[in-house]
Chains A and B, each alone.
Chain A
Amino acid sequence: MRTAITLIPLLPLAGFLVNVLVGKRLRAMSAWLAVAAVTASFALSVAAFLRLAADPTPITFSLYDWIPVGHFSAPMGILVDRLTTVMLLVVTGVGSIIHLYSVGYMHGDPRYSRFFAYMNLFAALMLVLVMADNYLVMFLGWEGVGLCSYLLIGFWFERPFNGGTTNDAARKAFVVNRIGDFGFLVGLFLLWTTTGSLGFAQVQRAAGAGIFSTTLVTAITILLFVGATGKSAQIPLYVWLPDAMAGPTPVSALIHAATMVTAGVYMVARSHFLYDLAPISQSVVLWIGAATAIFAATMGTAQNDIKKILAYSTISQLGYMFMGVGCGAYAAGIFHLVTHAFFKALLFLGAGAAMHALHDELDISNMGGLRKRLPLVFWTFLIGGLALSGFPFTAGFFSKDEILAQVFATGRIEAWAVGVAAAGITAFYTFRLIFLAFFGEYRGGVEHPHRPGPTMAAPLVVLAALSILGGYLQVPRVVNAFSGYLAPVVGGEQATLALNVEAALMLGTFVLVLVGIAGAWLLYVRRPVTAEAIAAEPGGLMGVIRHKWYVDEIYAAVIVDPIRWTSRTVLWRVVDDWVIHGFLVQFVGGLLWKSVGFVVSFWQTGRIGTYAFGMVLGVLMLLWLLV
């Protein structure tokens, strides 16, 4: 089993190396190689899952001693417990599906094999992240997937985007992530100075033994969460995710929906033993999640770019996941992570199919009526949309409602209310998208939009099936497979509600969802909409929302521009030019040169005799000193 487990991240890594080195020569094979690597990892992940389903004892071992420095030792260690297997299945499973989809989607791209190299590298690093047994290796994966995100967002680096280039978007992602990582690192430092180790097991033991004072553990958990806000796009560090849509759609599906952005949620769940000790941090996580959920949902209602709508939707759904783990319902949060991976990847891939058919059209004001022209895409997309909205009997319904129920059950009614409101808005913007893109008249520019090929269609179907069936792992009171599976790791459900209360909650949410869908119907199906009307700038509140509440502009004015000004005028002109160059180099240096240098230059006669004499002189003096 250990070999199998070690192979899980190594196979995609090997795929990366092969593709990077000889990918160009392999051409079409390079893609299939990449797909094979991830699929093989998936098979091994299934094996690991089965093993852990039979026996919940975690498998942990160390590959080698990575950093042994003095007291500090960080082994390259692997931990595979039930939580890990869930993540493994998601990453490799959805990953394989998306890799397969990319074969068709990226066909014809001049840097085809490099794309698959990056995708494999990402898979390998994400697997390192989830299989780590200590915070440092997890951080290695954390940073690594950030790097891959940068590489993949800027994959089409020659394309303009949003007034800049895709590279600007990639850089924004990386820099904002970095800010979060700073918090994460400080948290790690605190952890180490308190416990002397960064391994999960050791920290868990320390937590249980009461080493942490409440303030300390609150500080640590909040700092770690700062990292999560960066990586998982929560308030205040979410601004990179909409721009990350500059990358190819499979990238958006895999990295910015299903896996990388969920790393923060995973991290919190993995650190549950710390968060359980810090109720203040849990509230912080909960409320930021709730605020992000509703805030991002509003922004999704006013966008016209199909991928941006999905991006804000992802941010919002991540907020739900954090609500789950923030109230102690770790299993619920992870459950939503899993179902979200299914339907969000489905939505992205479907959007990609639609874009592909219309020759990379992003704007929904130029789509419409695709229901008849791309039926497969429509039906799968509809299923995904229903799951996203939390429509009953889809996977999203069960996971979202589980979270809302747990939030309510732990007494946080206000947060619950926010979550429910956000669910209504979610339904609204989702169906706005569906109605505008798939219903009504065809507003597109392409004569005959071409249907997706088998490599693109099959993933859509599979994900649609999972978006429905995946929910049945956790039906309240009926099937407890999911939470039961995770219980040995993260503890059981936080609280149980009376049956009628829970039913009432579900009904209430459902009503709101219907209201959202109806609203979208009224606005976008009943009234005929033209392309101009959609594209027009709405005034007032909607205008502000359309501009993403001007958050980017605020950040630019308050943070980015002052830093740039300071660098340019102060540091560059004053310090570099005046002080260092003017004074130190020219004045002091010149002085030394003329005085000391002149004197010393007499020794440089260029004659061997002089040098030999000097050498002998030196040796004699040494002997004098020694003898």
Chain B
Amino acid sequence: MIPTQHIIVLAMILFAIGATGMLLRRNAILMLMSVELMLNAANVGIVGFARMRGDLAGQVYVLFVMTVAAAEVAIGLALFMAIFRTRRTVDTDRIDLLRW
């Protein structure tokens, strides 16, 4: 059987990759994709733990996470599209109207 520690390690690695991508990317869309990767890493982790405890509720929660991720992507992309219309860029370093 697959030891749970390995699953968790995998999840952590994927999460780290996603986090790095999110922090270091300037393009908003690619930032969001890294966020997706982080979410998936979390999903893997949850499934691993659900398997360890024999509790199916974990899988239901993964379902919820997926749904929320979908909603979030929809809104996020719509937001960035709207910003692009006016600012002509999705470079997050340029989108700083909220600066003091």
Interface residues of A (CB under 8 A from B): 601, 604-609, 612-613, 616
Contact = CB atoms under 8 A, between A and B. Distances in A.
A599 to B, nearest CB: 12
Contact of B31 (A601, A605, A606, A608): A608
Given A601-B100, A604-B99, A604-B100, A609 B92 contact: yes
Contacts of B92: 607-609
Contacts of A609: 23, 25-26, 31, 92-93
A489 to B, nearest CB: 64
Contacts of B96: 605-607
Interface string B1-44: 00000000000000000010011011010010000000000000
A607 B23 CA distance: 12
B7 to A, nearest CB: 20
B74 interface: no
Nearest to B92: A608
A604 B22 contact: no
A616 B28 contact: no
* List of 8 A-B pairs having minimum Cβ-Cβ separation, nearest first: A606-B99, A606-B96, A606-B98, A604-B100, A601-B100, A608-B92, A607-B96, A609-B92
B52 interface: no
8 contacts: A604-B98, A604-B99, A605-B96, A605-B99, A608-B28, A608-B95, A609-B31, A612-B31
Contacts of B95: 606-608
Interface residues of B, number: 15
Nearest to A598: B100
Given A606-B96, A606-B97, A607-B92, 11 more contacts: A604-B100, A606-B98, A607-B93, A607-B95, A607-B96, A608-B28, A608-B31, A609-B26, A609-B92, A609-B93, A616-B23
Contacts of A606: 95-100
Interface SS of chain A: helix
Q: Which residue of A612, A613, A616 has the most chain B CB atoms within 10 A of its CB atom?
A: A612
Interface SS of chain B: loop
Contacts of A607: 92-93, 95-96, 99
Nearest to A603: B100
B23 A612 contact: yes
Nearest to A600: B100
Contacts of A613: 23
B50 to A, nearest CB: 23
A534 B93 CA distance: 91
Contacts of A605: 96, 99
Nearest to B94: A607
Contact of B19 (A601, A604, A608, A616): A616
Q: Which residue of A601, A604, A605, A608 has the most chain B CB atoms within 10 A of its CB atom?
A: A608
Nearest to B26: A609
Contacts of B99: 604-607
Contacts of B31: 608-609, 612
A606 B28 CA distance: 14
B14 to A, nearest CB: 16
A613 B92 CA distance: 13
A527 to B, nearest CB: 89
A612 B20 CA distance: 11
A17 to B, nearest CB: 44
A601 B99 CA distance: 9
B97 to A, nearest CB: 6
Contacts of A616: 19, 23
A615 to B, nearest CB: 9
A598 to B, nearest CB: 10
Contacts of B97: 606
A559 B31 CA distance: 71
B99 to A, nearest CB: 3
Nearest to B31: A608
B87 to A, nearest CB: 12
A605 B94 CA distance: 10
Nearest to B99: A606
Nearest to A620: B19
A604 B100 CA distance: 6
A612 B22 contact: yes
Contacts of B25: 609
Nearest to B34: A612
Contacts of A604: 98-100
A604 B98 CA distance: 8
A503 B92 CA distance: 104
A627 B96 CA distance: 35
A616 B25 CA distance: 14
A601 B26 CA distance: 22
B38 to A, nearest CB: 11
A616 B22 CA distance: 10
Contacts of B98: 604, 606
A619 to B, nearest CB: 9
Nearest to B24: A609
B55 to A, nearest CB: 24
A607 to B, nearest CB: 5
Q: Which residue of A601, A605, A609, A616 has the most chain B CB atoms within 10 A of its CB atom?
A: A609
A616 B99 CA distance: 20
Nearest to A613: B23
A608 B94 CA distance: 10
A609 B19 CA distance: 12
Contacts of A601: 100
B19 to A, nearest CB: 6
A613 B28 CA distance: 14
A608 B25 CA distance: 10
A616 B26 CA distance: 16
A612 to B, nearest CB: 6
Contacts of B23: 609, 612-613, 616
Interface string B68-100: 000000000000000000000000110111111
Contacts of B19: 616
B39 to A, nearest CB: 15
Q: Which residue of A601, A604, A606 has the most chain B CB atoms within 10 A of its CB atom?
A: A606
B86 to A, nearest CB: 15
A608 B23 CA distance: 9
A231 B93 CA distance: 71
A469 B2 CA distance: 100
B91 to A, nearest CB: 10
